[in-house]
């Protein structure tokens, strides 16, 4: 990625991991500016990464090619509005990582036509294993798309979407998704302990099995259904277990869970826009 000036509004958890990813990729520290109200977080960011950190949002975005809004969804409106005139003048790319906040609301709060990329990252971004979906409005150029993509790729994989409404499904799938897998790990570990396995062994075997299955699915040419069939021999233990899960209609349970989460994401997006 060519080194261009990038600014972050908000220096919390996500900004921390995105900047950490950029630094690990060799991005020049003097091209990264952060505006953060908390003095202790400012000191921490400056000491850790050697980047330019300040308390003034206007100063941080001056001359920036891209501005990442890494604040909470409830605060993004008040962070965007005062910066609208300068962002419009500079035509800086605005990248929002705020969950649920729609592009039309971001553009409205900025007061006009600005290139906006809306993204939906997930928590594994904190360990550079994130999965982020991206959506660009019609003012975003190819170069700006590349810039947004390389920025988010510093913390995991990226996936572009042409239709913004699909981000509600993404929120239900990969946004909330880590929690589904954590829940599954929690249940597997607990039941193994109940069956008699020591806690430490149950935890380690559960987590490594989850990691191993994900890695196998990613590295294999076969889809997860094939991989599952391959480890399910007739009359064996896996078949006995998966039959119990199928009889409990796990598929229908997940269909309802993802539908409910998608509906909730839609509703939250609408409420955030009414601020």
Ligand X SMILES: NC(=O)c1ccc[n+]([C@@H]2O[C@H](COP(=O)([O-])OP(=O)(O)OC[C@H]3O[C@@H](n4cnc5c(N)ncnc54)[C@H](OP(=O)(O)O)[C@@H]3O)[C@@H](O)[C@H]2O)c1
Contact footprint for ligand X (CB under 6 A): 9-15, 35-38, 41, 57, 70-73, 75, 78-79, 97-99, 121-123, 125-126
Select 71 or 202, whichever has its Cβ closest to ligand X. Answer: 71
| Rg of the chain over all Cα atoms, to the nearest angstrom | 22
**Which residue is it, tokens 């989460």?**
261
Min dist CB 113 to ligand X, Å, is 23
Select 63 or 224, whichever has its Cβ closest to ligand X. Answer: 63
Min dist CB 169 to ligand X, Å, is 15
Select 227 or 268, whichever has its Cβ closest to ligand X. Answer: 268
Min dist CB 274 to ligand X, Å, is 17
Select 38 or 246, whichever has its Cβ closest to ligand X. Answer: 38
| Closest residue to ligand X in the complex (CB) | 12
∠ CA(152), CA(157), CA(158), 5° rounding? 65
Distance between CA atoms of residues 48 and 42, nearest Å: 10
Residues 6+ apart with CB under 8 A from 185: 206, 207, 210
DSSP annotation string for 117-165: EEEE--GGGGGT-EEEEEEE-TT--HHHHHHHHHHHHTTEEEEE-S-TT
Select 17 or 202, whichever has its Cβ closest to ligand X. Answer: 17
Distance between CA atoms of residues 50 and 30, nearest Å: 8
Min dist CB 249 to ligand X, Å, is 30
Distance between CA atoms of residues 146 and 160, nearest Å: 11
Select 159 or 232, whichever has its Cβ closest to ligand X. Answer: 159
Min dist CB 15 to ligand X, Å, is 6
Q: Which of 9, 20, 84 is nearest to 48 (CA)?
A: 20
Q: Which of 5, 59, 11, 58 is nearest to 38 (CA)?
A: 11
Q: Are 188 and 54 in contact (CB under 8 A)?
A: no
Min dist CB 181 to ligand X, Å, is 14
Select 61 or 202, whichever has its Cβ closest to ligand X. Answer: 61
The token duo for 208 is 């490594």
∠ CA(108), CA(109), CA(110), 5° rounding? 90
* Count of C-beta atoms within a 10 Å radius of residue 38: 13
Min dist CB 34 to ligand X, Å, is 9
């Amino acid at each position: 990625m060519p080194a261009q000036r990038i600014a972050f509004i908000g220096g919390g958890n996500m900004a921390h991991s995105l900047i950490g990813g950029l630094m690990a990729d060799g991005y020049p520290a003097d091209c990264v500016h952060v505006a953060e109200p908390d003095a202790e977080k400012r000191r921490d960011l400056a000491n850790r990464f050697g980047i330019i950190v300040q308390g003034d949002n206007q100063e941080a975005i001056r001359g920036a090619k891209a501005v990442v809004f890494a604040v909470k969804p409830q605060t993004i409106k008040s962070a965007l509005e005062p910066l609208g005139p300068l962002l419009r003048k500079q035509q800086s790319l605005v990248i929002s990582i705020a969950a649920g906040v729609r592009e039309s609301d971001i553009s409205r709060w900025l007061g006009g036509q600005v290139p906006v990329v809306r993204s939906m990252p997930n928590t594994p971004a904190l360990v550079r294993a994130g999965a982020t979906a991206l959506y660009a409005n019609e003012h975003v150029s190819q170069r700006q798309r590349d810039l947004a993509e390389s920025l988010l790729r510093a913390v995991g994989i990226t996936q572009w979407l042409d239709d913004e409404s699909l981000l509600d499904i993404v929120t239900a799938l990969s946004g909330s998704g880590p929690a589904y897998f954590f829940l599954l790990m929690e249940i597997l570990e607990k039941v193994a302990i109940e069956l008699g396995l020591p806690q430490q062994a149950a935890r380690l075997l559960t987590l490594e099995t989850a990691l191993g299955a994900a890695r196998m699915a990613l590295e294999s040419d076969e889809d997860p259904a094939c991989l599952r069939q391959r480890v399910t021999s007739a009359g064996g233990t896996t078949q006995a277990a998966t039959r119990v899960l199928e009889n409990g209609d796990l598929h229908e349970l997940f269909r309802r869970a993802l539908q409910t989460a998608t509906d909730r994401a839609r509703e939250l997006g609408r409420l955030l826009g009414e601020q």
